Homo-oligomer: A and B are copies of this chain.
């Protein structure tokens, strides 16, 4: 496989991976088994990747990790909303 196609496919998959988790939470309105520490570490981690992408001027790194950050921040917000349900 061409290395760019491989990298882009990998980036799309790892960025979009949390979408089914978000959909599940929105459907069930239940977050008991989720780890908010995981979400927090992911948010900090992907935000650092965005910063790294900006320094290295690599748009795919910036875009894929900014998308991840958005999904994980949304997940954390719904975690807080549904936590005490």
Say which residue of B1, B14, B49, B55 sits within 8 Å of A49 (CB atoms).
Answer: B14
Q: How far is the CA of A24 from the CA of B35 in the complex (A)?
A: 7
Q: Does A38 contact B (CB under 8 A)?
A: yes
Give this chain's copy count.
Answer: 2
Cβ–Cβ < 8 Å partners of A16 in chain B: 41
Q: 1/0 contact trace for A8-50 toward B, CB 8 Å?
A: 0110111011111101110010111111011001101110110
Whether B32 and A34, one on each chain, are in contact in the complex, defined by CB atoms closer than 8 angstroms, is no
**A contact residues vs B (CB 8 Å cutoff):** 1, 3, 6-7, 9-10, 12-14, 16-21, 23-25, 28, 30-35, 37-38, 41-42, 44-46, 48-49, 51-52, 55-56
